[in-house]
Each structure stands twice: as structure tokens, then as C-alpha cells.
């Protein structure tokens, strides 16, 4: 790629000017799971090496990481210092020199971890290539922020919405996964309306960590061959067709996005062996390919991710000036075999 995208701060957000003559490319990475301790040293090296290979092969204009950069569980990594692990990942990303941002996942701030998300955010915001913003402190979560994508001649194309899908309803894994809260949805709608021309609604893509229950609903329709949902690519590799969506009803993110008419697609992580991408409820729903070598182990009845390969890689999103977009998987196996350079 020769022409470059341009990034600037304007209107209180990052505004991206698309490169001339080609689509704007986003690389989604997810679930890196850096342990940062003695027990995870080998797997951390594998994960960071994978990140470098995927970012370089993607030729992306922007990298968006949808959570779980680190995994501060002592029994896996040998430390609960999530800031130390975050620095390992941050230094890796900064060395690549590609603009990037992220949303937090449920593991970045565990109840036994040393640091809260606010402290991790402060660190990431010191990095030269990181465009992350903490967002309004009055909102639920940390890191709700938006970017506006424009054509090379300055016409609005799409909003890129980074949303914190939070962690656990009761603070620990056993309390159940949290969701995107009503005040965050209100913020999303406000940003969309402020950036829409009169009489229209600007398109948007959302990036967050924990999938909504509607993703599972859409997959079940695809699986049964029922109308209303369309399979595009990827697979469901989790045991028993598992989707780790929140069980509580608060938020109703997808319902309100359907009413708003802006959201054309969303990208999540969380379930490391799922790479599925489908069309449902008028929006593209996509699991990013994961990186994780550390988190899934046979002792917990899981398929060990360290021994799996088909799910590992990145996901590219090519956005055209007319707002259409194309999604492809970027498997690490294809990069390492020389199929993708």
C-alpha cells in the first residue's frame, strides 16, 4: 500500500482521512492474553511474535484490539501484575509504528489483578502510536471513544465506535458476564446524531469484547437453514457451540442499534475458538481471529488454545469510500507458510 491514511484530532475526536485510490484497512486483533510472568514467558513470546507477523502482513492503516490484551491470573502466568503484562504488549505495538486503539476485555482487569483499567489506560495513552481515549468518566466503562472516517476529500464515510462491554456483573468470573449499559448506548446514539447530516444517519462499525446474545440467535438460524440470517465465513470452534454472551437483559444494545439504523457491523472477541461472521438483523456480526496461547487449558475441560492453529490470526476490514466494507480472515498459518506476505 503506497497512499497513506491521515490522522488528526478534530471536533474532540480522532478524524481519519482515507488514502486515495484504495480502501481504508482495519486489522482487528483480539484476546492476546499476555501473562507477563515467569510461568507464561514462552507463551508470551509466541503471542507477541504472532502479533508482529500479523500486523506486518496485514498492511493495515489502523489496528483495533478488541480486548483481553493481558491475562493476570497467577496460576497461569505467575503474576497478577497486569500493568507489567500491558507494558509488554504496548511496547510490541509501539515498535510496529501502526496507529492503533483498543477496547478492554473482561480479563484486562481481574479482581485479583494489581491495577484497575484507569491505570492501564493511563499507560497506553503514553504510547506514540496508540489513539486510545478514556472517554467520558461519567459513563459506564473505560475507553468509550469514537473515530470519524472521511474520504480523501473530507466527506464523512463512517463512525468507528469503540465500546467497553465491561467485565462481570458481580466483579468475578462466577457472577456472569456484564454487558454494554444503557448510558453507553445513549452516548453511542448521541455521537451518531452529532455526526449525521440532517435527514440521514451516518453508518457505523462497533468494536467491543463480549458478544451479544443476538449473535448466537443468528448463528442458530444459519445452522438450521432458516431465513433471516446469512453465513459469510469462519466457524464456531468452541465446545458445544458456546457463545459467551451476557445473560442479563440490561442494555438491549442490538435492539436499540436496530432502531437507530446506524450500526452496519460489529466485531468482538472473547470466545477464542470462534471466528464466525454472519449477517443478521441488518448488520454483520463477526468474531475476530484470536491470538491466545495461554488461557484455555484441558484441565478446565476446554480445548487448549496453545495446541490449536486454525483460529489464530487477525481479521481485516476494508472500507470503501461509499461506506461498503469487506471482511477477511488473516490466518497466522497462511502468513508463516508464505501464502500471505
Query: 236 phi and psi, to 5 degrees?
Result: -105, 105
Query: Which has more pLDDT, 249 or 185?
Result: 185
> Looking at residue 306, what is its pLDDT?
74
Domain that holds residue 321: 6-336
Percentage above 90 pLDDT, the chain? 81
Establish if 212 belongs to a structural domain. Answer: yes
Give a yes or no: residue 156 inside a domain. Answer: yes
Residue 62 confidence (pLDDT) above 80: yes
CATH of the domain at 114: 3.60.21.10
Name, in order, each residue with C-beta under 8 angstroms of 165's C-beta and a sequence gap of 6 or more.
Answer: 67, 103, 105, 141, 178, 179, 180, 208, 209, 210, 268
**Assigned domain for 144 exists:** yes
What's the whole-number average pLDDT of the chain? 93
> Is residue 1 domain-resident?
no
Is 249 a member of any domain?
yes
What is the domain count for the chain? 1
| Percent of the chain topping pLDDT 70 | 95
The reply to whether 237 falls in a domain is yes
The per-residue pLDDT for 249 is: 60
Cα 215 to Cα 196: distance, rounded to the nearest angstrom: 27
On whether residue 341 sits in a domain, the answer given is no
In this structure, is residue 188 part of a structural domain? yes
Amino acid at each position: 500500500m503506497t497512499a497513506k491514511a491521515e490522522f488528526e484530532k478534530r471536533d474532540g475526536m480522532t478524524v481519519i482521512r482515507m488514502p486515495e485510490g484504495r480502501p481504508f484497512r482495519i486489522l482487528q486483533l483480539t484476546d492476546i492474553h499476555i501473562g507477563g510472568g515467569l510461568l507464561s514467558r514462552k507463551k508470551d513470546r509466541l503471542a507477541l511474535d504472532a502479533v508482529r507477523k500479523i500486523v506486518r502482513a496485514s498492511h493495515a492503516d489502523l489496528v483495533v484490539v478488541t480486548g483481553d490484551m493481558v491475562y493476570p491470573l497467577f496460576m497461569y502466568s505467575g503474576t497478577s501484575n497486569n500493568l507489567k503484562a500491558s507494558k509488554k504488549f504496548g511496547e510490541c505495538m509501539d515498535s510496529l509504528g501502526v496507529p492503533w486503539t483498543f477496547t478492554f476485555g473482561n480479563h484486562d482487569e481481574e479482581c485479583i489483578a494489581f491495577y484497575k483499567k484507569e491505570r492501564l489506560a493511563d499507560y497506553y495513552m503514553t504510547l506514540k502510536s496508540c489513539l486510545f481515549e478514556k472517554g467520558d468518566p461519567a459513563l459506564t466503562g473505560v475507553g468509550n471513544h469514537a473515530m470519524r472516517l472521511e474520504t480523501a476529500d473530507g466527506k464523512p464515510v463512517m463512525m468507528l465506535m469503540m465500546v467497553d462491554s465491561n467485565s462481570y456483573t458481580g466483579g468475578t468470573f462466577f457472577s456472569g458476564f456484564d454487558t454494554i449499559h444503557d448510558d453507553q448506548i445513549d452516548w453511542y446514539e448521541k455521537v451518531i446524531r452529532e455526526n449525521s447530516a440532517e435527514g440521514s444517519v451516518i453508518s457505523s462499525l462497533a468494536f467491543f469484547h463480549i458478544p451479544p446474545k443476538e449473535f448466537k440467535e443468528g448463528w442458530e438460524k444459519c445452522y438450521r437453514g432458516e431465513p433471516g440470517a446469512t453465513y459469510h465465513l469462519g466457524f464456531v470452534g468452541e465446545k458445544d457451540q458456546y457463545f459467551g454472551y451476557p445473560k442479563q437483559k440490561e442494555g438491549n444494545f442490538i435492539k436499540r442499534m436496530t432502531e437507530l439504523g446506524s450500526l452496519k457491523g460489529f466485531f468482538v472477541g472473547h470466545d477464542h475458538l470462534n471466528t464466525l461472521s454472519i449477517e443478521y438483523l441488518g448488520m454483520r456480526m463477526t468474531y475476530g481471529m484470536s491470538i491466545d496461547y495461554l488461557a484455555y487449558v484441558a484441565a478446565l475441560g476446554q480445548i487448549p488454545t496453545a495446541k490449536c492453529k486454525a483460529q489464530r490470526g487477525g481479521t481485516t476490514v476494508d472500507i470503501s469510500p461509499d461506506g461498503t466494507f469487506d471482511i477477511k480472515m488473516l490466518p497466522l498459518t497462511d502468513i508463516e507458510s508464505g501464502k500471505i506476505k
